[in-house]
Every structure is written in structure tokens, then in C-alpha cells.
Chain A
């Protein structure tokens, strides 16, 4: 391959760095194509995300508003005693209220005929609100009290734009078109307005007789207790298992086998964990059904592989020179791990844990199997009951609402999704912050 083997008179191509040959043109074209492809993929993904967020927000935001009527009302001592002595106590309360309201409205000089039936169709459950208030505030008997009574769910939907006048048939026994005329007039008079729906955040699930009053509060609490169980069990178990596997266990076929199986566990569908939980925790160990404790145990099984995998990855990422440094000054293996390796691995461990928890928070399928999807009409009374009493969880509650027939529940389901996403987002932000806080260079 020396010069004398080659013909000397080959024409040397004029090479300029500015001219391109076919080869480099092809390469440039390929590069451009790839960039265009990448950009379009990103744009598509963003569009989908935007679509998702927009539909969630537009469908879910109405759940955070509700229509109320604020009314001044006076209940006398005699009326109170009469109502408390009656058989249908709340009914009597609500009769007193509607009578008074009819009079108030008639005094407004509105050319629409008002009767108690109209009022009953317009308003939600009045009696129980009044009774609750007066039983705990007997000193307010005989005085004027301003009540904010939630409107019936159909009126609520009418003002949120999800129910139109034309959609109301003449034989609808819940609402009539003429009722809406009255409502419109009262709205102009300032009696009816929309406010923030605290009830949705703090309330419990409710049945068809008061669909507008359904809230997600109890299920949030259920999810909270579940996450507590998951955190308390899966973080120490997962981290201990990872430290042992990564730092102490001999590397042999047994640990290899365990490692492969842990990775496989992370890919097992969650419903499998659900049926396992049903069989082991409920049918075999006789733990209570529908309890956040059991839900937490099942979700712990699901979260453990995630935590173990991320913990082992972050332990592996700590440079061995740090371990050597610690051992060389006479630290024991355990001191080297706990004083030096673990603090460096902490950001990764915490991120993995939070992501595992976030996954568990949004998990629905296993909860269906252990019965955490029931109708939860009250908060737990004690902390113990919070763990072992029947409850639901946010995603299960959403599932439950989405499958109900009353249209107001669809709005609640979307609202629930907003709540769930807010929780997930704040958990992810916490993960990022923790990461920043703990991150150190070496």
C-alpha cells in the first residue's frame, strides 16, 4: 500500500470544504428527516396531552361549582318543638322553610305562580340542613338566619350548561320548564348564585336522592390511609431488601434468580395482585373487606418491586470508590453503606418511592377485587376505623361515579379525576424537590 503500488497520475479531485458530495448530501437529508420526524412526534404527543388536559378541565371544573339559593329564614321555638316531635322530622322542617320561601318570593312581586311543589323541585334537600343547624344552635331560634341551600342537581346542571330547557319533557317529575323561569327570575333578584363547591371536597358519597351533594372527601381519606400503609411498609422493606441484595448478599444463582423475579413482579398486571390480596388477606387471613388496610397491603405488594428496582439502581450508581474510601479508613461494611452510600443514593430512592406511591394512588383494578369500590356515605369515626373500616379510594370512587346513571355524577367523576391528578402532580413535584435538595456531586 505504498506509493509505488499506485498509479501516480490519478486526477486528484478538487476538494473544497464548501462543496458537498452525494454521500454527505444523503447523510444531511437523513438527518433532516429524522429531526422532522422527532419534532412531529413531539408535537403529536403534546397535542394529545393538551387534548387530555383540556377535556379533563372543561368536564371536571363544573364539579367545583354549585348553585345555591341564599335565603333568610326564621324558625320559632314552637315550630322547632313541633318539628322535633313529628315522625318525619326533616319533612316538617322543610315544609316550614318552603312556606316561608313562597311568601318571600310572592312578596317580590314576580308574575310567576309559586307553590311548595315548585320550591321542592328547585331546591335540594332542605330539611336535614335545617335540622342539623337548629339542633346545634338552639340559641338562634326566633332569629333571622341566612341559609345557603344547594339547588337541586338539575337546576345546578342548567346553570352549568349541561342541561337545556329543550331536554326537559313535559312529564318530567323532577323539573319543569316553568321552574327554570322562576329560577332565572330569582337569579336576577340575587337569591340564586353559583359558589365554590366545598361540599365536593369535604363531602361523602351520596345516593340518587341528593346527587348534587356527593363529595370525594371520604375517598380521599381512604386513599390517604392506604398510602400510609403502603409508605410505612414498602419503603423500609423495599430499601432493606435492596441494600441487602446490592451490598451484602453473595452474587450467586440464588440472588440472580431473586433479581429476575423482582423485575418480573414489576410487570405483573395489578389485577393479579388484587386477586392475590382477596385470596390471602381476606379469605385466608380474614382481614376486613373493603378496608384501606387491605388495600394498602395489596398496593404494597405492587409498589415493592418499583421501590426495590429504583433503590438498587441508585445504590449501583454510587461510585465504588466511595465504598473503598470508607472501608480503607476502617469503616465496617454497614458503616460504609449507612454513612456514605445510602445518603448518596437517597434522591434516587425517594424519587422511586414517590413514583411507586403515585402509581399505587392511581391504581383501581386491585381495589375492585377487595371491595373498596362500595358506596361510602360517612367518614370513619376513629383512626383505627380509618384503617379497617370500609372505605373507598379516589380512583375507585371515580369508577363508581362514572358508572352511575344520573348525569351529575359524570361531572363528579371528571372532578374526581382533577383531584387525583392534583395529588399525583404534587407528589411528582415533591419528588423533584427532594431530588434537588439531596442531590450532591462526587
Chain B
């Protein structure tokens, strides 16, 4: 049902949004991701689950090359976004990150006003000409972040003054303001209370209309609620990757089964 928009004919020549081909990641001698190959669909929420330290965040960070900022990290293999290898030497990671947005575990708004938080990305990418246009961009991003109504009267106040859930939605708004095609989320709800979590989950469901979302989560319920596809990682291996319903009701690998029934992790 998640690919209802695709007709049968393009299933054959299917273009994946993100394709990983034999990806290995090392932190020094620590082999954190082992030979991962997988394809991720557009306009789909894909969840990464697995025990702590299995490499979910590491693999997620490969997709927007945030691993470049870690001195000891080495990434091998290919990751294609829209068919282009993002680790090609000609690719500018800065441009890539404008197209692949990221939301972090702990909300990290800039210590600036709410407006400036959202406007920063569009500004540095020259996406708005003039103040009025910038205001429109900010408003539409805040709307997509489902936080416009709460902050529209206090855009000049510091983003750090918002509640945790609001901050996280502000960060999502900041990420979508640069018009990315892919949104990466690393445990975006782990620092939030249940109500804020529910709001974010609802938001993720809406974001699926326009973006392909990859979300790392510790909560299997959350994965089941928001995602259409689920990938289970264990000790750096991609153990199983399938439709979410399939993974939770009928896992093929015994390790997956142990994890979702709570025996490992």
C-alpha cells in the first residue's frame, strides 16, 4: 500500500531514492558497518531498528556524509542518491546536505531567534530573494514542521526557549526549509515526552507525502506506527530489511525475531 502511487510498469524499472552498495564503515579498526547493501524508496518512511551500538546512526550518517566530520571514520562502498554516488570525489558534501536533511537525537536549535533558525539554511543557499520571500519560506517550513501556529507570534524569541517537543519540530522545520528530498532522523523522539512524541510521529506521517524519510528508532512500537519499511541491524550487519508488517509479524531471521520479542537488545 505504501507504493500505491507506482503503477505496475515502473516496478520493473524501479528507481530507488537511496541505494547502498557494499557499504563498510570503520572507526579506526572498529568495523562498525559490514557490507550493507539495500535500496530505499522515495516517499516512504524507512525505520532502522536494532540494539544499541549496532551501527544504525553510523549508517544513517553515511547518507548525508556527516561521517566526514569524524576524523577516524572511513566509509567504503557506494551510496547512490537518485543514481549518483555521493562518495564520488566530485560531489560536494555541502550541497549534498542541503538535499539530505537531518534531525538529531537531541533537539539542537541554534541559539538564535526562531525565525533565524529556519531562515539560516535558505539564506546560505540563496533560496530567497528579499525579505518578503524569506518570510514566506520560513512560514511554509514552520507549517510543514507543524509548529507554525505555536510560534507565529514569537518568531523573534530564541529557539532555545521552546519546550523539547517544540524544539524538535523547529529542527524539523529547519531541515525542511532547504527543500531536501530525503530527511534523516536519528532517534528524534528519544528526548521527548509521549505527547510530543505523538505529535512528531504524526508529522513524520505527513512528511512522507513529499520526502523519503529514514528514521532510527529505539522503540519498536514507533517503527510499527510510522514506517512502511523496516531494516534490522545487528552488530554492523543489515540482518533483515522488509515491509514493516512483515518484519513484525513474520521475521525471517532468528536474530530479528529475538530482538522484536525482546530477547536481545
The answer to whether A and B assemble together is: yes
Q: B104, A329: Cβ atoms under 8 Å?
A: no
Q: B66, A330: Cβ atoms under 8 Å?
A: no
Contact of A250 among B71, B102, B125 (CB under 8 A): B71
Complex Cα distance, B109 from A440, in Å, reads: 13
> Which stretch of A317-325, A374-382, A398-406, A418-426 is in the interface?
A317-325
Residues of B within 8 A of A168 (CB): none
Instruction: Specify the chain A residue showing the minimal Cβ separation from B120.
Output: A329
Q: A327, B171: Cβ atoms under 8 Å?
A: no
Residues of A within 8 A of B69 (CB): 323-324, 327
Report B4 CB to chain A, min CB distance, Å.
Answer: 31
Q: Which of A322, A330, A340 has the most CB of B within 10 A?
A: A330
Residues of A within 8 A of B101 (CB): 328-329
A interface, how many residues as a size bin? Answer: 20 to 34
Binary contact track A303-340/B, C-beta < 8 Å → 1, others 0: 00000000000000001011111111111100100011
Q: A324, B108: Cβ atoms under 8 Å?
A: yes
With A321-B104, A324-B104, A325-B104 as given contacts, are A340 and B121 in contact (CB-CB < 8 Å)?
Answer: no
Q: B171, A325: Cβ atoms under 8 Å?
A: yes
Binary contact track A250-272/B, C-beta < 8 Å → 1, others 0: 11000000000000000000000
Residues of B within 8 A of A327 (CB): 66, 69, 97
Contact of A322 among B95, B108, B158 (CB under 8 A): B108
Tell yes or no: B2 within 8 A of A by CB.
Answer: no
Q: B111, A329: Cβ atoms under 8 Å?
A: no
Q: B94, A328: Cβ atoms under 8 Å?
A: no
Residues of A within 8 A of B111 (CB): 322, 344, 440-442
User: Count of B residues near A, CB < 8 Å?
Assistant: 27
Q: A331, B110: Cβ atoms under 8 Å?
A: no
Report A192 CB to chain B, min CB distance, Å.
Answer: 63
Complex Cα distance, B228 from A16, in Å, reads: 61
With A251-B71, A322-B108, A441-B111 as given contacts, are A329 and B174 in contact (CB-CB < 8 Å)?
Answer: yes
Complex Cα distance, B109 from A344, in Å, reads: 13
Complex Cα distance, B158 from A441, in Å, reads: 10
Complex Cα distance, B109 from A325, in Å, reads: 7
Residues of A within 8 A of B102 (CB): 324, 328
Complex Cα distance, B96 from A331, in Å, reads: 10
Complex Cα distance, B69 from A330, in Å, reads: 13
Q: A329, B98: Cβ atoms under 8 Å?
A: yes
Residues of A within 8 A of B104 (CB): 321, 324-325, 328
Tell yes or no: B143 within 8 A of A by CB.
Answer: no
B84-131 contacts to A, CB under 8 A, are 94-95, 97-98, 101-102, 104, 106, 108-111, 120-121, 124-125
Q: Which of B69, B109, B111 has the most CB of A within 10 A?
A: B111
Tell yes or no: B140 within 8 A of A by CB.
Answer: no
Report A128 CB to chain B, min CB distance, Å.
Answer: 62
Report B52 CB to chain A, min CB distance, Å.
Answer: 19
Tell yes or no: B175 within 8 A of A by CB.
Answer: yes
Q: B178, A441: Cβ atoms under 8 Å?
A: no
Binary contact track B166-202/A, C-beta < 8 Å → 1, others 0: 0000010011011000000000000000000000000
Residues of B within 8 A of A331 (CB): 94, 120-121, 124
Tell yes or no: B160 within 8 A of A by CB.
Answer: yes
With A250-B71, A335-B124 as given contacts, are A326 and B178 in contact (CB-CB < 8 Å)?
Answer: no
With A250-B71, A321-B104 as given contacts, are A326 and B110 in contact (CB-CB < 8 Å)?
Answer: yes
Tell yes or no: B58 within 8 A of A by CB.
Answer: no
Residues of B within 8 A of A340 (CB): 110
Report B230 CB to chain A, min CB distance, Å.
Answer: 24
Complex Cα distance, B106 from A330, in Å, reads: 19
Give B residues with C-beta under 8 Å from A: 64, 66, 69, 71, 94-95, 97-98, 101-102, 104, 106, 108-111, 120-121, 124-125, 158, 160, 171, 174-175, 177-178
- 23 A–B contacts, CB within 8 A, in A order: A321-B104, A321-B108, A322-B110, A322-B111, A323-B69, A324-B66, A324-B102, A325-B104, A325-B171, A326-B110, A327-B66, A328-B66, A328-B175, A329-B177, A330-B97, A330-B121, A331-B121, A339-B124, A440-B111, A440-B158, A442-B110, A442-B111, A442-B160
